[in-house]
Amino acid sequence: MQTRIKSLLFYFLITCCLSANSQKQNLIYIDKSGVVRFTKDNKEAAFFGVNYTVPFAYGYRSHKTLGVDIEKAIDADVHHMSMLGLNAFRVHVWDVEITDSLGNLLQKEHLRLFDYLLYKLKEKNIKILVTPIAFLGERLS
């Protein structure tokens, strides 16, 4: 039962986050046995990836402190992810870094770098799972 709940949660997250257009067919589905499969060919879907946070939080701050060009770091990191055979990426997107206190999207460096990262991942056919985190009023500097 617990495995089925985990599978359903995984399916929900992947389906919500990987379907760029609701008119397109879902990338994956869960069969009657609880196996996650690709819709296109019914093969079992398996993802191996990383949680990567350079556009946000401590990843961003550490690169800035070291004076590292963040776009060049993203280029190198995505290249290495691809060379390692990773096919998935996950990140928590903190609302406080890309929105104002009312939730309006702001054109900030975090958002620009996140967009750049997604572009680079898509170039390497690395699947993306975004998990939004709301701090409900807490603001980061």
How many residues does the structure list for the chain? 141
51/97 same-domain check: yes
Range of the domain at 24: 1-46
Q: Give residues with Cβ within 8 angstroms of 79, minimum separation 6.
A: 124
128/108 same-domain check: yes
Interval 19-50: pLDDT, tens:
444 446 788 899 999 999 999 999 999 888 88
CATH number, residue 135: 3.50.80
102/59 same-domain check: yes
Interval 100-112: pLDDT, tens:
878 788 888 999 9
Number of helical (H) and strand (E) elements in the chain, helices listed first: 5, 5
pTM of the model: 0.71
Could you tell me if 37 and 30 are in contact, meaning their C-beta atoms sit under 8 angstroms apart?
yes
Q: CA-CA distance, 85 to 50, in Å (whole number)?
A: 11
